Amino acid sequence: MFSGIDSVATPGLWIATVGGVIALLVVDFIVTRRPHEVRLKEAIGWSVFYIALPLAFTGYVWWQFGSQHGMEYLTGYVVEKSLSVDNLFVFMLLLTAFAVPKELQQRVLLYGIVGALLMRAVFIALGAALARFDWAFLLFGLILVLSAVKVLRDATSERHQVVDVDKLRSVRLLRRFVPVTPDYRGPALLTRMDGRRAVTPFAVVVFAVLTTDVVFAVDSVPAVYGITGDPYLVFVTNAFALLGLRALYFVLHNALNKLVHLNYGLALILAFIGVKLALHWAHLHWPAVPEIPTLASLGVIAGILAVTIATSLRAERRQLVGTR
């Protein structure tokens, strides 16, 4: 099932890939340099680009490394893209809670994406080191099952529907050390207030977004390691899933609230991959224990997403009919 802990990519390909990711981030910073409200046409254009790029990369992986790695990459990308939608939902809640002006929202999202990439790079490196020990697969599986339980609990209690800014630990920590201005000063992070150095609300929301990146990395990296053991494929699936989030946010902003069953679907996906990892660990010790093939995993994950979207839309239609 797994292609191993050693990357199939050459050092040159690693350098080219990291360089490409940095170049795309630079382009995004150029695009967001002038604060402006993102129109739907602009968001759709960038979203199409950032979805077409990783799908086209599937062909390269398939041709260069074979069908097994190609299937692992595609399945991992679908998993990471699905989990990234949950990122978007939390970002939406934070942007609303902090009353971020529309013209500054895409810069906040970009900082969040950069932070998420850095956090996941660290977790990917740790995962590659741990994957040299077979017990790590059981550990990753346990983490994913516990994450699934947490996501399911949040979905049933709806605790994440409202964010109380003053109760966020990251916000309380930051305010303990530095004063915060009462208003936004454009995209500036630092300013002066009453002759003292102070941070702006923009800096506070960026700090809050970055702290959530750590939580999401704990879920997403073990999830994709449940699909492939290749650190390179783990990295590119994470990078491609995150790079398009800024534009996708403005496309799905209104649709996110309609996906009322999203967290149920994500909980099932995390639990499924957790079981998949546990079976892989058991197979290493007792070969008679069956493993779940990558193609079957892709089918299960795609099926869960399809059912989640269908039931969410159906629930939305029922709610609209009930309010008439």
Q: Is 287 exposed, middle or buried (0-12, 13-18, 19+ CB in 10 A)?
A: exposed
245-262 pLDDT, tens digit per residue, is 888 888 877 666 677 788
Rounded mean pLDDT of the chain? 82
Distance CA 324, CA 320 (A): 7
| Closest of 229, 221, 195, 181 to residue 2, by C-alpha | 229
- For the chain, give every domain's residue range: 11-323
pLDDT in tens, 123-152: 888 887 776 777 877 888 888 888 888 888
Query: Tell me, what's the pLDDT at 170?
Result: 63
Lowest pLDDT segment from 6-20, 178-192, 237-251: 178-192
Which residue reads 């093939």 in tokens? 293
Q: Answer whether 218's CB lies under 8 Å from 143's CB.
A: yes
Q: Please tell me the pTM assigned to this model.
A: 0.81
Q: Which of 289, 303, 280, 306 is nearest to 228 (CA)?
A: 280
Helix (H, G, I), strand (E, B) or coil at 3: coil
